[in-house]
Chains A and B, each alone.
Chain A
């Protein structure tokens, strides 16, 4: 079996009385594409924020490539070579698409190589037609793609995305699916997702969150056929 690149031990996150993440043990291996699913409020985003340093977990530990990163800052975790996209679109609206991507490319490259990298990412994500536009002027789906380009420009070996297809329709979703598959050829991925259709078309291994804990973890077909998962999604108690 290939190496473990990310794991959590007894990870918990409490907000006052609310236990958003409850003793989660999670492992991710090289080249994997893992989907985290679960109903609203299951704790997926909170788990995502813990492993990316956006929240300081209440208890438990996080290890990335064997190194404990539990209390690291987001920029330090990112610096390990991890690309992160939050659930809320996070872009610089007042800057051009090109400039947005450049800022990411410049993090690990000198100016000349950064410029070159931006051009190659723009080609890879197929956003050449909007490269000069201000991001604030773009449609939702395009902005999501720009954010993915920002993530990719840093050449990450692990990509963690929170609901990359949220609010997207039709063609945009198709494009996003293609991009994700393409990214996974070079990097491991964790994708938090809500939409069952979307999950069916990309997922392999799936982890189901429910009330802060892992309900089950298995191959996508088995998970989607499972009665408990269906109940959870329909809002029935298990």
Chain B
């Protein structure tokens, strides 16, 4: 079991590296970079929701916080390495504190949704209200609804003058996505990850076994926050400006939709969902015939109705069906594996 899934991981990574070189021939690399940033953002929710059962309606809060932290520190420090790390740590810490309040306070899932939503709204309103000169952190003025331009974008570590632009930036994003994916793969296979998955399934049983569920959920939530922060830092470098729109509810909603369409309970699903829907949004944005949100909304409804487990499990299913027809003489055992894949959890 273990070796089969690790073989799949290796072949998946090789495929991803191939795709990394081939894709720029078809799609602009700056668009690709954005899609990859979205994919990392989607992974951050896909992790805590799909594996920890924590549905956060405000994942955009950590994304925006990461982007703003990066911008603020980059303005003050004048290079990108330390701001980059702080842009991960700040939202992670924020998520840890918020998580501790929610999980130690024994909030029910519904209230968790409400609170994360409200926190996002507050950050959005706050970021919008910081136009005055008094809203400055060190040299960095937050700039209200106009946002913050003019900060130091990503550079080669230790060489502030050597910026990472264009195609190089795309490669950096892609490699980071692969690193995130592999790290999360091993995280969910670890004892800690397995306990978190079990908590997502039956919190009380894990409490009865003797684990402090609050602690595990808080840490897991913090990891998700840090990952969203990483996406935010990359986004800041990509856009060269951060605006309050990063904290918007539509951004949060989009992340949830990516996960649903791609497949909650898998790692590949959120990536797939973010890339496909991101690309669709990009192309739809270039025309004015149909409304963007209408199309994305319709897709969501179709998926919820007809493919509730999402794309990734469906594709895995299809793949197995094809290989069973052409190769395997043991369709029964194969099919059993598929049903597990469809249930999520075991199919990474």
Contact = CB atoms under 8 A, between A and B. Distances in A.
**Do A and B actually bind?**
yes
Interface of A: 52, 54, 73-75, 78-79, 84-86, 90-95, 99-100, 102-104, 106-108, 111, 134, 150, 154
A93 B208 contact: no
B205 A92 contact: yes
A104 B209 contact: yes
B314 to A, nearest CB: 18
A94 B195 contact: no
Specify which of B195, B206, B207 lies most central, judged by the most chain A CB atoms within 10 Å of its CB: B207
Contacts of A150: 205, 209
A95 B340 contact: no
Contacts of B345: 94-95
B211 A75 contact: yes
B210 A94 contact: no
A154 B202 contact: no
A112 to B, nearest CB: 12
B210 A106 contact: no
B191 interface: yes
Given A73-B207, A86-B208, 10 more contacts: A54-B204, A75-B207, A78-B207, A79-B210, A90-B208, A94-B344, A103-B194, A103-B209, A107-B210, A150-B209
A94 B341 CA distance: 11
22 contacts: A52-B208, A73-B212, A74-B204, A75-B207, A75-B213, A78-B208, A78-B209, A78-B210, A79-B210, A86-B208, A90-B204, A90-B205, A92-B201, A93-B202, A94-B201, A94-B345, A95-B198, A99-B194, A100-B198, A104-B209, A107-B211, A134-B343
Contacts of B201: 92-95
B197 interface: yes
Interface in B111-163: none
A230 B340 CA distance: 50
Nearest to B210: A78
Specify which of A78, A94, A134, A154 lies most central, judged by the most chain B CB atoms within 10 Å of its CB: A94
A103 B195 contact: yes
A75 B210 contact: yes
Contacts of A85: 208
A146 to B, nearest CB: 11
Contacts of B205: 90-92, 150
Nearest to B205: A90
B206 A103 contact: yes
Contact of A134 (B198, B207, B212, B340): B340
Nearest to B204: A90
Interface in B224-278: none
A79 B206 CA distance: 12
Given A90-B202, A94-B345, A95-B345, A74 B195 contact: no
B210 A91 contact: no
A90 B208 CA distance: 9
Contact of A84 (B198, B208, B343): B208
Interface string B307-348: 000000000000000000000000000000000100111000
Specify which of B195, B205, B213 lies most central, judged by the most chain A CB atoms within 10 Å of its CB: B205
B218 to A, nearest CB: 14
Specify which of B202, B212, B343 lies most central, judged by the most chain A CB atoms within 10 Å of its CB: B202
Contacts of A103: 194-195, 198, 206, 209
A103 B209 CA distance: 8
B344 A111 contact: no
A90 to B, nearest CB: 4
Nearest to A147: B205
Contacts of A75: 207-213
A154 B209 contact: yes
The 7 closest A-B pairs by CB, nearest first: A78-B210, A92-B201, A90-B205, A79-B210, A104-B209, A84-B208, A74-B207
Specify which of B201, B204, B343 lies most central, judged by the most chain A CB atoms within 10 Å of its CB: B201
A107 B198 CA distance: 13
A120 B300 CA distance: 47
A94 B201 CA distance: 7
Nearest to A80: B210
Contacts of B344: 94
A203 B269 CA distance: 53
Given A95-B198, A99-B194, A74 B343 contact: no
Contacts of B197: 95
A107 B343 CA distance: 26
Nearest to A153: B209
Specify which of B198, B204, B212 lies most central, judged by the most chain A CB atoms within 10 Å of its CB: B198
Nearest to B343: A94
Contacts of B340: 134
Contacts of B210: 75, 78-79, 107-108, 154
A36 B213 CA distance: 29
Contacts of A99: 194, 198
Contacts of A78: 207-210
B262 to A, nearest CB: 19
Specify which of B195, B202, B209, B343 lies most central, judged by the most chain A CB atoms within 10 Å of its CB: B209
Contacts of A54: 204
A99 B2 CA distance: 13
B339 to A, nearest CB: 9
A85 B201 CA distance: 17
Interface string B168-209: 000000000000000000000001001101100110111111
